[in-house]
Chains A and B, each alone.
Chain A
Amino acid sequence: MSEASMQTSALPDDVLISVRNLKKYFPVHAGWLRREVGQVKAIDDVSLDIRKGETLGLVGESGSGKSTVARLMLRAYSLTDGQILFRQSDGSTIDLSQLSDREMRAVRREMQMIFQDPYSSLNPRMTLLELVGEPMIIHGAGSQGEIRDRVAELLQVVGLRPEFINRYPHAFSGGQRQRIGIARALALNPSFIAADEAVSALDVSVAAQNINLLQDLQEKFGLTYLFITHDLGMVEHISDRVGVMYLGRLMEVAPTEQLFAKPLHPYTEALMAAVPQPDPRGNRIRKRVPLKGEIANAANPPAGCAFHPRCPYAQAKCSAEVPALRTVEGGRQVRCHFAEELSLVGAVA
């Protein structure tokens, strides 16, 4: 391991993973020679701490960069700039941004991902034994017999029958396939799991079962989750803290209860107002002013605050100056010039 990656830059004791000033720019090519003509700032200056054993929810519209943050944390993408500090199981802290791909492979044991689409994320030609056992084979964790026993145990842990071990994914429903993905993620005893829209493709009753499973597993194995979703009801239900993203930037981070009771960023307020509630009488009373327009093009973001063209409270300053993510009273973080002056409405029960 290189010298740089050994530095233990101050990572607070209760933090498992911390990204600092994370940036990811994708090049834009155009013309006959495919020359680089610009950059898409997919992630622009995102800083975030995830504490041990907590669930951090990440919400935002499609194109806001929430999945990219997760993929950067696991180094599925190389980052343009920034630090990713991760506390390993032996207690040492490393900066993942400094690791080579080879060094990264060893760390990935402790970091896993669950994907949205249970139909395309599992190889249809592999049995459950091969699917769930694959990470163990790659990391050389045990003999064939040991792997078989461990897979059977994992299937039981996620609520599938161990007898299914030789079946193929097509024999399972969407909810069950998602459980196979969860078993696969658990195979190497990770401490951190990024769940990218893990229940979004499932039916209501199945989503509820799988959410409960994820919560049980968290308690049982002391897991830390990054939970990415566009479903605000789900994020409120499962998260301890929530980050709100817009156009590659973090707009607000707050403990779940505080965020939903009183958002500090106009975008958070607009997101909450947009969710139709399973409450017809309430919907009739609640005046809902839908947000105008659409998320801007990340290749050509608006000047100043990225949200200002759609913001009902925007003032002259908003189109001129980029607001910084700053800490306000109560330790909450917000990226808005006027957070203290606005009085925004949360989700009313």
Chain B
Amino acid sequence: MPAERLLELDDVQVHFPMREGLVKAVNGVSYHVNKGEVLGIVGESGSGKSITARSIMRLLPKKAVEPGGRISFRPRTGEEYELSSLSRNSRAIRQVRGNHIGMIFQEPMTALSPVHTIGMQIMRTVQLHKKLGKAAARERAIDLLAKVQLPRPRELVDAYPHQLSGGMRQRAMIALAISCDPSLLIADEPTTALDVTTEAQILDLLKSLQSELGMAIIFITHNFGVVADIADRVSVMYLGKIVETATVDDIFYAPKHPYTQALLRSIPRLGVDQGRRLPTIPGMVPDPFSVPPGCSFNPRCSHAIAGLCDVKTPPEKRFGNQMSRCHIADQFVQEPAHV
């Protein structure tokens, strides 16, 4: 891996054998995260964005099979991990999880333990990974709660999750995730359940923590506004594949995949288009048992070419730092995102 690389996924596949057939939830995903950058992953539900993240953490459901793919990870301490070869309970992954990689989830109420105080949950983590004594761990927990701007950290360290509001719980969850100075934070829809005002606070907090601690973030969301606010680069997922990866500006102002374009056009924008009819993507995401042949987006694509897009799987086409998985990425007419 190049020196600036923190994490690299190469052709990762996660399949679920079901009674109705094989679900290829993640079907050849490759992306990388450099040290200290924020990679946004956007996609609709069922596109495989969360399963890919769980595969990094080795927290896949037990019935998942991984027929191929490689996940390499090099935290700032320098050692290299081949995450894809680790089992979910191996000693090595337990050193990585919660230590080098922190994770925050959409619903902090279910992700945090309801029967332990938030202080206790943070203390256990730092006692395990940082070999701190009880008193030192408690001080560290209080420091962390202060760092995530939780009011009255000395009191709230002894609070249970149910005593906190949604926004405060998410702050506590972030404190837990960054407790061991991770090199990478995986944030899976961390603001989706929050109000806009709280969402803005949490995004600002994550941005300031990211620059202060120099960690990288994989930010998974379905909200283009959020990704525009926080990401440096963005990958767009559809049906278990990444269809486009580019810098945040290129994704928003020069998208090279018809799916990215269509999604951007279907969001109502503040202060722009009152009353206009929203352009939509025809049809719906196909069910995972009947993924269309060729380009999986072709039945819904307004640019699809018969005999090409419905037959041949498009390769990854590269334009500098931009990647688009579309046969005609360099040919089809760019439609402006703002109409």
In chain B, residues 188-246, which have Cβ atoms closer than 8 Å to a Cβ of chain A? Answer: 195-201, 203-204, 222-226, 228-229
Known: A257-B274, A278-B225. 16 other contacts (CB 8 A): A173-B285, A205-B263, A206-B44, A208-B278, A230-B195, A233-B225, A236-B271, A237-B268, A237-B275, A237-B276, A271-B197, A276-B199, A276-B223, A277-B229, A283-B228, A290-B204
Q: Specify which chain B residues have a CB less than 8 angstroms from the CB of A234 in the assembled complex.
A: 268
Q: Residue A121 at the B interface, CB < 8 A?
A: no
Q: How far is the CB of A198 from chain B (nearest CB, A)?
A: 14
A11 CB, min distance to chain B CBs, angstroms: 27
Q: Say whether B280 contacts A209, CB under 8 Å.
A: yes
Q: Contacts A204-B222, A208-B266 given: A290-B280 contact, CB under 8 Å? A: no
- A156 adjacent to chain B (CB < 8 Å): no
A sample of 17 inter-chain contacts (CB < 8 A) reads: A61-B198, A62-B166, A203-B222, A204-B44, A205-B284, A208-B268, A208-B281, A215-B277, A236-B274, A237-B273, A260-B274, A270-B197, A276-B225, A278-B267, A278-B337, A349-B271, A349-B272
A125 to B279, CA, bound (A): 35
- B280 and A278 contact, CB distance less than 8 A: no
A211 sits at the interface (CB 8 A): yes
- Whether A212 pairs with B277 at a CB distance below 8 angstroms is yes
Inter-chain contact A232/B248, CB cutoff 8 Å: no
Closest 3 CB pairs of A and B: A347-B271, A237-B268, A276-B225
Query: Which of B252, B253, B273, B278 lies in contact with A212, CB distance below 8 A?
Result: B278
Q: Does B139 contact A (CB under 8 A)?
A: no
Are B268 and A274 in touch, CB under 8 angstroms? no
Residues of B within 8 A of A211 (CB): 268, 278
Query: When the two chains form their complex, are residues B278 and A237 in contact, meaning their CB atoms are under 8 A apart?
Result: yes
Name the A residues within 8 Å of B268 (CB-CB). Answer: 208, 211, 233-234, 236-237
Q: A203-B44, A236-B271, A271-B197 are in contact. Are A208 and B228 (CB under 8 A)?
A: no
Interface check A328, CB cutoff 8 A:
no
> Least Cβ distance of A2 to chain B in Å?
41
Q: A207 to B269, alpha carbons, bound, how many Å?
A: 14
Q: Which B residues, 272 to 296, have Cβ-Cβ distances below 8 Å to chain A?
A: 272-281, 284-285
The answer to whether B200 and A280 touch across the interface, beta carbons within 8 angstroms, is: no
| Contact between B197 and A204, CB atoms less than 8 A apart | no
What 0/1 pattern do residues 11 to 51 of B give for CB contact below 8 A with A?
Answer: 00000000000000000000000000000000011000000
Interface presence of B270 (CB below 8 A):
yes
A260 CB, nearest partner CB in chain B, Å = 6
Are the C-beta atoms of B274 and A276 separated by less than 8 Å? no
Q: Is B93 interfacial (CB 8 A cutoff)? A: no
User: A127–B292 Cα gap in the complex (Å)?
Assistant: 29
Interface of A is mostly: helix
Write the chain B residue with the least CB distance to A239.
B274
* Residue contact B284 to A276, C-beta cutoff 8 Å: no
Question: Do the beta carbons of B271 and A260 come within 8 Å of each other?
Answer: yes
Residues of chain B within 8 A (CB-CB) of A207 are: 266
Query: Taking beta carbons and an 8 Å cutoff, which residues of A are in contact with B?
Result: 61-62, 173-176, 203-209, 211-212, 215, 230, 232-234, 236-237, 256-257, 260-261, 270-281, 283, 288, 290-291, 294-295, 346-349
Q: Which residues of B contact A270 (CB under 8 A)?
A: 197
Residue of B nearest to A176 (CB): B284
Enumerate chain B residues within 8 angstroms of A348, measured Cβ to Cβ: 271
Give every chain A residue within 8 A of B249 (Cβ-Cβ).
Answer: 280-281
| Cα distance, A348 to B271, chains bound together (Å) | 6
The residue of chain A having its C-beta at the shortest distance from the C-beta of B45 within the complex is A203
The residue among A205, A261, A270 with the most chain B CB atoms within 10 A of its own CB is A205
**Docked pose: A49 CA to B259 CA in angstroms:** 41
Closest to A310 in B: B197
Q: Are A260 and B270 in touch, CB under 8 angstroms? A: yes
On chain A, the residues within 8 Å of B264 by CB distance are 278
Contact of A279 among B228, B273, B276 (CB under 8 A): B228
Write the nearest CB–CB distance from A64 to chain B, whole angstroms. Answer: 9
Specify which chain A residues have a CB less than 8 angstroms from the CB of B272 in the assembled complex. Answer: 349
Report chain B residues within 8 Å CB of A257. Answer: 274
Q: Is the CB of A61 within 8 A of B195?
A: yes
- In the complex with contacts A61-B197, A290-B197, A280-B270 CB distance below 8 A: no
- Would A233 and B197 be within 8 Å (CB), given that A276-B203, A290-B204 are in contact? no
Contact across chains for A62 and B228 when beta carbons are under 8 A apart: no
Counting chain A CB atoms within 10 Å of each CB, the highest count among B266, B279, B337 belongs to: B266
Give the distance in Å from the alpha carbon of A205 to the alpha carbon of B252 in the complex. 17
- Which residues of A have CB within 8 Å of B278? 208, 211-212, 237
**Complex contacts, A174 vs chain B, CB 8 Å:** 45
Given A232-B270, A236-B271, the answer on whether A278 and B199 have CB atoms closer than 8 Å is: no
Shortest CB distance B272–A (Å): 5
Question: A residues within 8 A CB of B165?
Answer: 294
Nearest residue, chain B, Cβ from A278: B224
Note all chain A residues with C-beta closer than 8 A to B285. Answer: 173, 203
Chain A CB within 8 A of B161 CB = no
The answer, yes or no, to whether B167 is at the interface (CB within 8 Å) is yes
- B279 in contact with A230 (CB, 8 Å): no
Complex contact B270–A347 (CB within 8 A): yes
- Does A279 contact B204, Cβ atoms closer than 8 Å? no
Q: Which one of A203, A256, A274 lies within 8 Å of B197 (CB-CB)?
A: A274
CA distance A198 to B168 in the complex (A): 27
Residues of A within 8 A of B223 (CB): 276
CB-based contact B225/A204 at 8 Å: no
